[in-house]
Amino acid sequence: MIEQMKRISLIFALLAAIGFGGLPPTTANAQEEGLESLRQTESAFRSVAKKVSPAVVYIKVEKEISPQEQTEMLPFGSPFNDEFFRRFFGESPHFRSPGASPQKRLEVGQGSGFIIAADGYILTNNHVVGGADKVLVKLQNGREYTARTVGTDPPTDLAVIKIDEKNLPVLNLGDSGRLEVGDWVLAFGNPFGLSHSLTAGIVSAKGRSGMGVSDYEEFIQTDAAINPGNSGGPLVNLDGEVVGINTAIFSRSGGYMGIGFAIPINMAKGIRDQLVEHGKVTRGQLGAYIQDLTRELAESFGLAKAEGVVISQVMEDSPAEKAGLRQGDVILKIDGKAVDNASNFRNRIALTAPGTRVRLAIVRDGSQKQVDVVVGELARGDGERPADGGKLQDLGLSLQELTPDLATRLGYEGETGVLVTAVNPGTLAAEAGIERGDLIREIDRQPVRNPLEVRQRLTAKDKKSHLLLIRRGQGSLYLALKTSN
């Protein structure tokens, strides 16, 4: 009897240990801890929304388009066909204003922005407000204002506008340099005109360049859902600090497909200051063409690793030439910080004030050395670009290196050549039949691999006409381009 009672007691003890038919304590505790973690995240999102939303604005713009402009541009600009890249300006239907001339059209668009100063300064994208005749701003509380454009900077796609009001809510600007892949971020804006929307996601990647969206690129990539109308809105961290400005999406449908891009706020800060103080931006330059150092190039230069960028050309009487830099020098560091790629190096020089002395760590003929360079001033419209860009203004041609990302998006996988990103109407390039999105494979039966080679061939003084082999879509064709009349 005593033994039987011991066995029964043991059975009850075991049942109690596993919760008597319920979940084991460890499982129940883990489940509750998981729910509590979600509640904390939920609370964090609510807190950020309350903090940020009052300083996010809805922007509506109007522009009267002439017949000539209607043939020159897609609605408010896009670097390629809408199928590939959209700056999600909010493509509202076009309509003709009452009483307007039949030859003109009123174009309407929408976007977002956020207040950066209590006296009415607002940061947004250039492609949202650039060239607009009228800019209207609406706050979360419903109040509406007519804004004036303080300054725009197309190369970075940034702009500052201002409304006449005081004591406005302001967003704090964070440090985008501290972002890590996997960090939570929240995107605010007005997608499809749905005012003050919030979406959450993570930082998917950093330092994205070569996208063909703007001249100076170092985008934050995020999977936070952003759509047409979000452009110019803030991307914030869980502290409610702005870490980026929503600028572009990759989409084949026109809507969210899991990939969005934001301008890092650290890049925007200096641009903002110059636009507010001077209404324009002054940039630094070295006067040298640079390109990424591939593994093959590194081997050719006798380097063990493909680190840094290589100088492909030094301009005469430039800061680079005066400092003694040469063609073939490999730049490893600037002021002690490693150079990741040509785009990164160019951005850092451009954001350096003219007259500043910088120290470059270079490799020349297998030996490392230090070179001090006094940064010069980049003239407005100047074309100091690395191998990922270039502009032949006289011909009306804008070019871009064919990066692997662009090759995939445009269907040029496995091809080599130089991508045409813009053709100005009425120019020699337009008359030759060159179109945006074309891939220039050869000039005068010689292959071209970067914009610098195209520039050198087309600006040769001994030729007035050139034969171009173009890849367009799935086909190829020859075009004759005159470089002078």
Residue 45 dihedral angles phi and psi, to the nearest 5°: -60, -45
Q: What residue spans in the chain does CATH classification 2.40.10.120 cover?
A: 1-281
pTM above 0.75, yes or no: no
Domain covering 283-378, topology: Pdz3 Domain (2.30.42)
If one compares 64 and 477, the residue with the highest pLDDT of the two is 477
Q: What residue spans in the chain does CATH classification 2.30.42.10 cover?
A: 283-378, 390-482
pLDDT at 392: 66
Closest CA to 240 of 40, 46, 57, 38: 46
Query: Is residue 388 within 8 Å of 403, Cβ to Cβ?
Result: yes
pLDDT at 382: 43
pLDDT, tens digit, 9 for 90 and up, residues 30-86:
777 777 777 887 888 888 889 999 999 999 998 876 654 443 333 223 333 333 344
Q: What percent of the chain has pLDDT over 70?
A: 80
Give the residue carrying structure tokens 């925007």.
268
Q: What does the alpha-carbon distance between residue 409 and residue 208 come to, in Å, rounded to a whole number?
A: 15
Does residue 378 surpass a pLDDT of 90? no
Just list the catalytic residues: 127, 157, 231
* % helix, strand, coil for the chain, step of 5: 25, 35, 40
Q: What is the CATH number of domain 390-482?
A: 2.30.42.10
Is 424 strand, coil or helix?
coil
Does residue 114 surpass a pLDDT of 70? yes
Question: Taking CA 235 as the corner, what is the angle to CA 232 and CA 241, rounded to the nearest 5 degrees?
Answer: 120
Decide yes or no: CATH 2.40.10.120 for domain 1-281. yes
Burial of 254-291, coded b for 16+ CB within 10 Å and e otherwise, reads eebeebbbbbbbbbbbbbbebbbeeeebebbbbbbbbb
